[in-house]
Amino acid sequence: MKLKHYIKDNIFLVILNLSILPFIYIFLKVLNFNTHASYIIIFLLFITFSINIFYNYFRKKTYYDKLIKINNNLDKKYLLIEMIEKPNFNEGRIFYNIIKNISKSMNDEIYKYKKDNIDYKEYIEMWVHEVKTPLSSAKLTIKNIENEDYKGINQSLDSIDKYVEQVLYYAKSSHANEDYIIKSNNLENIVNEAVKKNSSYLIESKIKIIKENLNFNIYTDKKWILFIIDQIINNSIKYMEKQDKLLTFQGFKEKDNIGLSIKDNGMGIDSKDINNVFKKGYTGKIGRIKSKSTGIGLYLCKKLCDKLGIYIKIKSEENIFTEVTLLFPKSSISN
Amino acid sequence: MYKILIIEDDRKIRKELKTFLEKYNYKVEIYDDFSNFDAEKIKKDIHLILLDINLPQKDGFYICKEIRRKNSLPIIFITSRDNEMDELMGMHLGADDFITKPFNTQILLARIESIIRRTYETNKTNTYEIKNIKYYPDKSLVEYKEKTEELTKNENRILKTLAENRNKIVTRNQMMNCLWQTDEFVDDNTLTVNVNRLRNKLESLGVKDIIETKRGQGYIIK
């Protein structure tokens, strides 16, 4: 708050007060008042008036400067009202009360949405668990019938299961409540488990699996990372059309990280698309040709990786390869 | 014959699970009195329990705790709650394994088998007799007229799969899937090579044509 602006704001008062001084002087002169006494009166009036202006200026300046400073430093600006005290001047109090009401209603609104959001997430999680029960019994039924003709149904059930899983992790990813547990896991075991989970499709698609240098320990949540690797493997299965299909899992150690590279020799990604693959709903050229993409898989991977503190990057050359690399931070325990 | 108790509230699942396990030579019993669970009610001849977590009244964790207070029967949790927290909780309460729905039946069978072997068959050896050949899968050995031949891990797994599915055709994909479950991610060519080596070993013992090839379908032992 600058003095210049304050005076400009109160210019009417200033002019009025200053312009009344000569009138008072003339008035005193007419009354034959002592000249010195008149000067003193005029001077006193001037002083009083100036003190009035400056006192009000400093009072407001102190308050508003503090307000601006707190507001600038505040991460969540809508909480401002909780951080400041009530001003000691009337118009300030009026504004204070109004802002207080506004932010209270805003906070109520936010709380309502938060609660709705939590309810919705809980409902999704419950629903996913519910739907897995009939899915399991359907799969067991098909298994018990043991008829090759029903294989198609079994594969459809597996696809449903994958989509359902995606819904679950989507709900988990967009939520503040963290329900993961970070602990030490062997990288090779994790890769083995992810490959086994997709064994039927990998075998059917005649994809050769190569594992290299995977004997590392990583610190992460097992279920989440399995889901992430699962999405990457499924992308590879979808987009490999060559004769000799290869899927390579390679571990490596960098200065502060353990890395896992998952590389296929499939259709690859157009260089125009590569920077957008982690965006939600982005399908790119291949997505449009194959019409199998939803643009959710990699988006979810990125979001979950961000939460787990894993760095994910993708490299590709069209018609040659696609390589997704995950970098796991080394835990302080492992050093 | 081993007896498995299924504690699960979904009728359809437990019925299908029962059918499935009976096909693989397990006796199956179903527990469905959830109103007041009493570990004493579990019969003495049960060898293993498959336990769901989401149950009416008391949940699976409670039941697991109750059972553990009485005995050390192997318990496998079968659940749709697929998260690390539940798994740790289950293991903490003394469960032996944790399998998530919808389950891969191969994995389910393998886990049941390995737990039963670990608990009840530490001294017993499994033997198959195929046309006068004695086959010991636990020792990776085949024996014929006092001659023996040692099998590699993959060969052993192939022969075991065929022996378990005797008189049924095992497709190449099924066979590969079995090998993959032991973390051996062999490809098509490697499978052919392994089957041929296994055949040569059996032939060197003096028996021919034990493993038949069904063109375009798979392999079979009769």
Q: What's the mean pLDDT in A152-167?
A: 90
Q: Give A223-255 pLDDT, tens digit per residue.
A: 999 999 999 999 899 888 877 899 999 999 988
Q: Which of B23, B81, B84 sits opposite A221 (nearest CB)?
A: B84
CB contact under 8 A, A179 and B54: no
- The pLDDT assigned to A177 comes to 63
CA nearest to A315, candidates A272, A263, A239, A258:
A263
Q: Give B157-199 pLDDT, tens digit per residue.
A: 999 999 988 888 999 998 998 899 888 899 989 999 999 999 9
DSSP 3-state of A76 = coil
CB half-sphere exposure, B167, CA atoms < 13 A: 1
CA nearest to A287, candidates A270, A299, A271, A304:
A270
Q: Which two tokens stand for residue B68?
A: 């553990």
Eight-class DSSP state of A87: P
Q: Give A129-157 pLDDT, tens digit per residue.
A: 899 999 999 999 998 887 878 888 988 99
* pLDDT at residue A329 tops 70: yes
Q: Which two tokens stand for residue A76?
A: 């969540």
Distance between CA atoms of residues B207 and A166, nearest Å? 52
**CB of A305 within 8 A of CB of A217?**
no
Q: Give B13-34 pLDDT, tens digit per residue.
A: 999 999 999 988 899 999 888 8
Q: Give the percent of chain B with pLDDT over 90.
A: 44
- The pLDDT assigned to A328 comes to 94
Mean pLDDT computed over every residue of chain A = 88
- The pLDDT assigned to A335 comes to 38
Mean pLDDT computed over every residue of chain B = 89
- The pLDDT assigned to A327 comes to 95
CB contact under 8 A, B16 and A140: yes
Q: What's the mean pLDDT in B79-88?
A: 85
Task: Please tell me if residue A159 touches chain B, with a CB cutoff of 8 Å.
Answer: no
pTM of model > 0.95: no
Burial class for A42, CB neighbours closer than 10 Å (0-12, 13-18, 19+)? middle
Task: Please tell me if residue B57 touches chain A, with a CB cutoff of 8 Å.
Answer: no
Q: Which residues of A touch B177 (CB under 8 A)?
A: 199-200, 203
- The pLDDT assigned to A334 comes to 45
How far B132 CA lies from chain A's nearest CA (Å)? 30
Lowest mean pLDDT among A11-25, A179-193, B119-133: B119-133
Q: What's the mean pLDDT in A43-70?
A: 91
- Neighbouring CB atoms inside 10 A of A16's CB total 11
Distance between CA atoms of residues A137 and B56, nearest Å? 19
Q: What's the pLDDT band for A289 if we cut at 50, 70, 90?
A: low
Q: What's the pLDDT band for A176 if we cut at 50, 70, 90?
A: low
How far B77 CA lies from chain A's nearest CA (Å)? 14
Eight-class DSSP state of A149: G
